[in-house]
Structure 1
Amino acid sequence: MTKLIIAFLGVFAIITPTITAQSNTFKIHGSIKGLDSEKMWAIINDVNEPNGYRREEIVVENESFEFTSEINEITHITISTGVDRVVKKTKRGYFPAKSSLLACFVYPGADIKVSGEITDFINAYPEGDAMNNGLAQLNRAIYPVMNEAVNYSVEADSLNGEAKTLVQKKGNKISGKSIDMKAQFIADNPDELASVWMLSDMALRNQLPMSRIDELFTAFTSKYKETIYFKEIAERLVGFKATKTGEIATNIISKQTPDGSEFNLEQLRGKYVVIDFWGTWCGPCMDGMPHLREYYLKYKDKLAVLGIAQDRDIEKWKAAIEKEKMDWHNIINNDKNNNDWVLKYNVSGFPTKLLIDPNGKIIGRWVGEGEEGEGLYHKIDELLQ
């Protein structure tokens, strides 16, 4: 079985006590007009896989397909159709557009039918149960709008100057419309699993202020309170409130270190500490490592650094640590014992850096590199020079 690392596709396994079945088998089948590829690929969350996901082949014949697999719990999955024309390509790669993916909820015993067409995006949706009907209602509304926004992004990538700025503004306006549509769907449908999933995804992508996330979350019914989506939002909201400037940083204890020894954040009391949330897949994160190392060496007697990597490939993580000479404290955020530090610190953009004072109090938070990220280094100089 081919394995694939996927970053932030919103693919999470969730559990609900309302679904029972004799078999763990599920089936997805259907016909999509314009589906002219020979194979599709289902990306399925699986904690038993080394990278946390499995990638399964779906054979296509005459625009139709039937796919059977196994799952232990309700799971939101995405399917890549293999149709090249829906991939939003640029000179440097591609935009990871959701409108280029087929999405559905699977669970033990599910029998899901998919229908629709492929134009320049996947205009096809699942049906067969309340959860998928709700997801289809949401995606039918937002996918065309999201596709329009990403098409503007592709166009802007080929332009320069004022023309580029004008097209970007058009794209941003349409993108903002799609975010408003998502939020309105969630507000109007507080008992839909699609709403819980979408709010979790929007919180992850920092698409709404946390105050608005809190409002929408509070309105949810208890129907899906046992799902991982619901729990993730709740934990992120706790993290949002607990990691504001002036609060004592949530203690971090982990054995997910390069050598397996235990790290404890409280052991660094007495020094200023930079907590750097990064990933090997994150270009800006890697580009900023030499600058972080420069400051680590400059103030090494007074400043400690903790790198927290949002990665699943342990060997790739270790190789990056060695290559970039990250000779500070490092942990990887793949602890299966409910210690998700990205959630606990409400991190929704990479890189995110926090500065902690010698008493453990949070001084500030900076997201990204460039001008905004440079504020961290100005603050370090102000405190330690």
Structure 2
Amino acid sequence: MKARHLMLSLAVAASALAASADINIVLSNPADTRVNITSVPIAEYAKGRNAVQTVVNDSLDIRGRGSFKTPDFNAVNFLSIGDGRETFYTAPGDKVTVSISSTEPLQLRLSGTPLIDGMQEIEDWLTPVVERYKAVVNDSTLSEARKEEKITGIMAAYDKVLTDFITANPSTPTAAYAVTAIQDEETTVQMFKLLSGGALTSIVYPLAERSNRSAESRLEAEARQKALESGDAPAPDFILPSLDGKQVALSSFRGKWVILDFWGSWCIWCIKGFPALKEAYAKYDGKVEVIGIDCGDSEDAWKTAVAKYKLPWVHLYNAASDNSVDKVYGVQGFPTKMIVSPEGKIVDITTGEDPAFFDRLEKFVNQ
């Protein structure tokens, strides 16, 4: 009875607020609660975080109920209460109700527009899948291999909820949102092609386009990397500037084993891997050359990081572009290390920080 009374109270309060405000907050907790909303234009956000120039921040101390003005642009809204976060999307003038039943942990329901109602419906379907995922991640009795196997199955179930929705509702605004939530790249591309009607005019369609472009790029990168790691293909030659401004070509290192280390100063795991890489560099002095290829940094940040971490090997600056070296090599994550044979062929590609990389390096060098 208490739960039913609570939901009824929230519904009545939401109904009373809907006529007078744009984003209505309804709290079951009578205590003062700080609610923060940060809004950015979808058009800017869809181009990447670095493209965001317009940011609107608003905060309220709410007891029971309160309201925010809907931004005057198509917006991605990030609502936060304490450590809890929720994301939703609005067009100018949209009426949205956020009914919050708990703040720690944050538990809420969104309603008010066809897009948001559809998103809430999908979230309800996904909740049991997410709970299964959490249970597996936190299960200390499972081996890593078994855990990975279970997670793979859970992610397939997660994507099936989304693909079923899109297949049944391809012309709804929420179908565009569902595309952005799919985890598998091939599925993302397939489902994006199904969008039609209202999905194409949905305020979140630019985000679906971004997800599709990203998925296509990743699939292309996977294909390039798979071709390169066969051991038969030569490592694509490149010329990049070094710390002193000289142009350095990969082909100039022919005759030596070479480690290509794709990294960035912003990458924590790249930095954590430096001590082991330094050990290998010293161990194989004269036999193995390391070429650090910086990605995603400004030139100043790159040079500062090389000096800060005292990295003794060759360093090259890889400026972002459509034909940057990391894209040519199909790099999908950082750090990525590639072993190039003295004949100039790639014999190993490792993404992430993996100690076994150095075991494989030893076998290649000593073969």
Please tell me the TM-score bracket, short chain as reference: 0.5 to 0.7
Count the aligned residue pairs. Answer: 312
Q: Which residue type is aligned with residue 68 of structure 1?
A: P
The reply to whether residue 33 of structure 1 matches residue 22 of structure 2 is no
The reply to whether residue 194 of structure 1 matches residue 177 of structure 2 is yes
The reply to whether residue 185 of structure 1 matches residue 161 of structure 2 is yes
Q: Which residue type is aligned with residue 320 of structure 1?
A: A
Secondary structure of the 1:68 match is coil
The corresponding residue for 2:78 is: 79
Structure 1 residue corresponding to 2:288, chosen from 282, 285, 303: 303
Secondary structure of the 2:193 match is coil
Q: CA deviation at 1:368?
A: 3.2
Secondary structure of the 1:60 match is strand
* Contact 1:236/1:344, CA 8 A, preserved across alignment: no
The reply to whether residue 239 of structure 1 matches residue 211 of structure 2 is no
Secondary structure of the 2:34 match is coil
Structure 2 residue corresponding to 1:101, chosen from 63, 86, 94: 86
* Contact 1:310/1:332, CA 8 A, preserved across alignment: yes
The reply to whether residue 338 of structure 1 matches residue 322 of structure 2 is yes
Going from structure 1 to structure 2, the CA distance change for 1:355 and 1:51 (only over 3 Å counts) comes to same
Distance 1:264 1:285 in 2: 23
Distance 1:122 1:170 in 2: 31
Distance 1:229 1:351 in 2: 23
Aligned residues with identical type, % of pairs: 21
Structure 1 residue ranges without an equivalent (≥5): 1-27, 87-99, 157-162, 203-207
The corresponding residue for 2:257 is: 272
Secondary structure of the 1:326 match is coil
The corresponding residue for 1:364 is: 348
The corresponding residue for 2:68 is: 65
Equivalences for residues 35-50 of structure 1 within 5 A: 36-42=33-39
Going from structure 1 to structure 2, the CA distance change for 1:349 and 1:165 (only over 3 Å counts) comes to farther
Q: CA deviation at 1:348?
A: 4.8
Q: CA deviation at 1:243?
A: 0.9
Secondary structure of the 1:338 match is coil
Deviations 1:336-368 (A, max 9, x none): x33466666555554332222344432122233
Equivalences for residues 242-321 of structure 1 within 5 A: 242-244=224-226, 245-246=229-230, 247-249=233-235, 265-266=250-251, 268-309=253-294, 311=296, 315-321=300-306
What CA RMSD, in Å, does the superposition of the two structures yield over aligned residues?
4.6
Q: CA deviation at 1:294?
A: 2.3
Q: CA deviation at 1:283?
A: 3.5
- Compute the TM-score of the two structures, normalised by the length of structure 2: 0.64
The corresponding residue for 2:5 is: none
Q: CA deviation at 1:384?
A: 2.3
112-121 or 234-243, which moves further after superposition?
112-121
Secondary structure of the 1:243 match is helix
Q: CA deviation at 1:374?
A: 2.2
Distance 2:343 2:297 in 1: 32
Distance 2:299 2:48 in 1: 13
The corresponding residue for 1:214 is: 186
Structure 2 residue ranges without an equivalent (≥5): 1-20
More helix by share: 2
Q: Which residue type is aligned with residue 65 of structure 1?
A: F
The corresponding residue for 1:97 is: none
Distance 1:116 1:333 in 2: 45
Going from structure 1 to structure 2, the CA distance change for 1:173 and 1:142 (only over 3 Å counts) comes to farther
Distance 2:109 2:239 in 1: 44
* Contact 1:350/1:367, CA 8 A, preserved across alignment: yes
Q: CA deviation at 1:194?
A: 2.5
Secondary structure of the 1:234 match is helix
Distance 2:245 2:68 in 1: 45
Could you say which structure has the larger radius of gyration? Answer: 2
* Contact 2:47/2:210, CA 8 A, preserved across alignment: no
- Compute the TM-score of the two structures, normalised by the length of structure 1: 0.61
The reply to whether residue 121 of structure 1 matches residue 106 of structure 2 is yes
* Contact 1:59/1:66, CA 8 A, preserved across alignment: no
Going from structure 1 to structure 2, the CA distance change for 1:382 and 1:175 (only over 3 Å counts) comes to closer
Going from structure 1 to structure 2, the CA distance change for 1:164 and 1:117 (only over 3 Å counts) comes to farther
Equivalences for residues 148-163 of structure 1 within 5 A: 149=133
The reply to whether residue 323 of structure 1 matches residue 308 of structure 2 is yes
Secondary structure of the 2:350 match is strand
Deviations 1:146-169 (A, max 9, x none): 46755886xx6xxxxxx8547x99
Q: CA deviation at 1:40?
A: 2.9
Going from structure 1 to structure 2, the CA distance change for 1:261 and 1:181 (only over 3 Å counts) comes to farther
Q: CA deviation at 1:322?
A: 1.5
* Contact 1:102/1:124, CA 8 A, preserved across alignment: no
* Contact 2:265/2:297, CA 8 A, preserved across alignment: no
Secondary structure of the 1:101 match is strand
